[in-house]
Structure 1
Amino acid sequence: MATKKNEQIKGRTDGLVAENRRSRREYSVEDTLEAGIMLVGSEVKSLREGRANIAESYASVEQGELWLINAEIQTYGGANRFNHEPRRKRKLLVSRRELSKLSQEVERAGRTIVPLKLYFNDKGRAKLLIGVATGRKAHDKREHEAKRDWARDKARIMKAG
């Protein structure tokens, strides 16, 4: 039975399939961009079930194209022999102008393209939110956590007081 566009994904109503929470901690994201992703049918079915992991993946510009590397979309049970490879390279769809901008950003020292969220948009198409980011050092991570914790504590104090 085919899934409907407005059907919930793993109990979610916003269409979110996978989120890379670790990327916000490991990297300082400077710019974000929405990219389409080329998938085969069994991958789409698996995504609709919410069976994806983008935590250890990254995007790379190779031969004038943008590729998502090391993202895992688990196999779909109903696809049998026509199933896909879970960790294959997947082509990301961006405009030529966006691709040239991304490749220039990556050529700068310390920049990388990290996937932030994998979701279905309003039209039911799979999209990937990618970010151009700089890696954080250990002391930067601790400082970022301390600021976040202080903001949370301050909000609690203001609410209670």
Structure 2
Amino acid sequence: MARPKPATFEKTKVVAENRRAKFDYAIETVYEAGIALTGTEVKALRTGQGSIAESYAEVDDGQVWLINSNVPEFSHGNRFNHEPKRPRKLLLHEREINKMHGAVAREGMTLVPLSIYFNSSGKAKVELALAKGKKAHDKRETIKERDWKREQGRLMRDRG
């Protein structure tokens, strides 16, 4: 029997994506988390601005925080504009937070954001992965595998 595919989240508008995460980390589990934002942050994200390339998440006092994510100031914001690199609270169930805390503390895993997107009901969400860092030889193996898949595709396409 075939393995069931993991549940994918309904993404309508992807704002920011961490493309290096799948190369640098072996991803174990993926969670969908809400994100607590201010009004100007939501407006800036809706215009397609924002970056999570160097960001990570950490569990602190039973809460999960997104650290080092960049949402630039909204261009039409007034004096109540937000701070671009402030820590943002992620909204998860307590059971999920406890699982994450245990995995990070005991197994040496990392919480890596994969993407920020708006779902079908218009709410901003973060796709958060519980991952383990890859070693250099694992990364080389990934590159070899990717190149072989590409070469296979070329061979199949040429032979018809």
The two structures share one fold, judged by TM-score above 0.5: yes
Q: Is the 8 A contact 2:18 2:114 kept in 1?
A: yes
Query: What is the letter of the counterpart of residue 20 of structure 2?
Result: R
1:90 aligns to what?
A: 88
Q: Deviations over 1:67-91 (max 9, x none)?
A: 0000000000111211000000000
Q: Is the 8 A contact 2:114 2:126 kept in 1?
A: yes
Partners in 2 of 1:43 and 1:94 — Cα distance?
Answer: 20
Instruction: Please point out which of 47, 50, 53 is paired with 1:49.
Output: 47
Partners in 2 of 1:110 and 1:142 — Cα distance?
Answer: 22
Structure 1 residues 9-28: aligned runs within 5 Å: 14-28=12-26
Q: Is the 8 A contact 2:12 2:120 kept in 1?
A: no
Partners in 2 of 1:14 and 1:153 — Cα distance?
Answer: 32
Partners in 2 of 1:144 and 1:160 — Cα distance?
Answer: 25
Partners in 2 of 1:74 and 1:143 — Cα distance?
Answer: 37
SS of 1:110's equivalent? coil
Q: Does 1:103 align with 2:101?
A: yes
Structure 1 residues 58-77: aligned runs within 5 Å: 58-77=56-75
Partners in 1 of 2:106 and 2:52 — Cα distance?
Answer: 24
TM-score norm. by structure 1 comes to 0.90
2:123 aligns to what?
A: 125
Partners in 2 of 1:124 and 1:37 — Cα distance?
Answer: 12
2:6 aligns to what?
A: none
How many pairs does the alignment contain?
149
Q: Is the 8 A contact 1:110 1:135 kept in 2?
A: no
Query: What is the letter of the counterpart of residue 154 of structure 2?
Result: R
Q: Deviations over 1:17-49 (max 9, x none)?
A: 000001111111111000000000000000001
Q: Deviations over 1:86-107 (max 9, x none)?
A: 0000000000111111111111
Partners in 2 of 1:126 and 1:31 — Cα distance?
Answer: 20
Unaligned runs of 5+ in 2: 1-10
TM-score norm. by structure 2 comes to 0.91
Unaligned runs of 5+ in 1: 1-12
Which piece of structure 1 moves more, 116-125 or 137-146? 137-146
Task: Provide the alpha-carbon RMSD of the alignment.
Answer: 1.1
Percent identity of the aligned residues?
50
